[in-house]
């Protein structure tokens, strides 16, 4: 089983590198990052309280224009950076992928994620850090983070109208998470396994992980939308090139 999906909006490599230096490297107090007061695009968002809490604590960063882009699909690299930061993963292991150089901003986070055991590469030796994360892929990674029994999860009755669309390699993870009420579906009864996970959804899911793993600092883990949903762009995906690294 591989964990990967498609990215949607390519940007120039040099511009991406500049963003990485200016935004990722600045840290929570960096002048290039949006503060909660500046976060102009989360007002009224279903996950507004959690997004604001994460921004205040430095777990989530925005751009210089004051945007957190809660509805933008999150990339594999961004997911790893957010998960590592939120859950306190810091030990880096050995990792070698053909499409990731030591100079890449995500190199250390990838090594940490591989060491933590919640992500792995593809059969062709790539990690595809720029690809977006689908909801069924996020379920697999969360199940690994929680250490859930996905074998028994495969027998859990799922309430989703599109449960037949969930891949076999993700079925047990989804079931295990649903059983513990750690993930849910949308108001229309669907799960949308192939839809790209948004930044807002990623934050809410990882906030639940923080609570379960004892790294919670008191923020409100959720919003008004059932199942950590929201307006999520869908698609099963192909290789893309999103490189928005202020995370």
Q: And the tokens for 72?
A: 């933008």
DSSP states along the chain? ------------HHHHHHHIIIIITT-TT-TTSPPTTT-TT-TT-TTHHHHHHHHHHTSS---TTS---TTSBPBHHHHHHHHHHHHT--------BTTB-TTSTTHHHHHHHHHHTS----TTS---TTSB-BHHHHHHHHHHHHT--HHHHTTSPP--TTGGGS-HHHHHHHHHHHHTTS----TTS---TTSBPBHHHHHHHHHHHHHHTT---S-----SSGGG-SS-------------TT-
Domain that holds residue 127: 13-228
- For 230-245, what is each residue's pLDDT tens digit? 333 333 333 344 344 4
Q: 219 in a domain, yes or no? A: yes
Q: Count of alpha carbons within 13 Å of 63, Cβ hemisphere only?
A: 12
Residue 132 pairs in a beta bridge with: 75
- For 44-92, what is each residue's pLDDT tens digit? 999 999 999 999 999 998 887 878 999 999 999 999 999 999 999 999 9
Q: 145 in a domain, yes or no? A: yes
Predicted confidence band of residue 213 (pLDDT cuts 50, 70, 90): confident
Q: With beta carbons less than 8 A apart as the criterion, state whether 135 and 165 touch.
A: no
Q: 238 in a domain, yes or no? A: no
Residue-level pLDDT at 147: 94
Q: 167 in a domain, yes or no? A: yes
pTM score, two decimals? 0.73
Q: 240 in a domain, yes or no? A: no
Q: 133 in a domain, yes or no? A: yes
Residue-level pLDDT at 65: 80
CA nearest neighbour of 131 among 73, 85, 61: 73
Residue-level pLDDT at 39: 67
Domain count, the chain: 1
Q: 7 in a domain, yes or no? A: no
Residue-level pLDDT at 140: 97
Q: And the tokens for 199?
A: 């930044």
Q: 166 in a domain, yes or no? A: yes
pLDDT reading at 141 higher than 70: yes
pLDDT reading at 180 higher than 60: yes
How far is 88 from 71, CA to CA, in rounded Å?
25
């Amino acid at each position: 089983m591989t964990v990967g999906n498609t990215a949607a909006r390519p940007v120039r490599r040099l511009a991406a590198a500049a963003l990485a230096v200016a935004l990722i490297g600045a840290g929570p107090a960096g002048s290039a990052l949006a503060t909660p007061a500046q976060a102009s695009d989360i007002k009224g968002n279903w996950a507004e309280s959690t997004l604001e809490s994460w921004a205040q604590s430095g777990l989530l960063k925005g751009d210089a224009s004051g945007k957190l882009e809660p509805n933008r699909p999150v990339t594999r690299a961004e997911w790893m950076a957010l998960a590592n930061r939120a859950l306190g993963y810091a030990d880096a292991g050995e990792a070698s992928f053909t499409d990731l150089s030591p100079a890449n901003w995500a190199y250390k986070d990838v090594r940490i994620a591989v060491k933590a055991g919640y992500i792995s590469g593809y059969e062709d030796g790539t990690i595809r850090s720029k690809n977006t994360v689908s909801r069924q892929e996020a379920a697999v990674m969360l199940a690994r983070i929680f250490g859930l029994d996905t074998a028994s999860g495969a027998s859990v009755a799922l309430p989703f109208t599109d449960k037949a669309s969930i891949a076999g390699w993700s079925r047990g993870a989804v079931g295990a998470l649903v059983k513990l009420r750690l993930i849910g579906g949308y108001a229309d009864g669907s799960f949308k396994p192939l839809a790209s996970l948004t930044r807002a959804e990623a934050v809410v899911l990882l906030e639940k992980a923080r609570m379960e793993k004892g790294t919670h600092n008191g923020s409100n883990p959720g919003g008004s939308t059932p199942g950590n949903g929201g307006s999520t762009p869908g698609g099963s995906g192909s290789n893309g090139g999103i490189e928005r690294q202020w995370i």
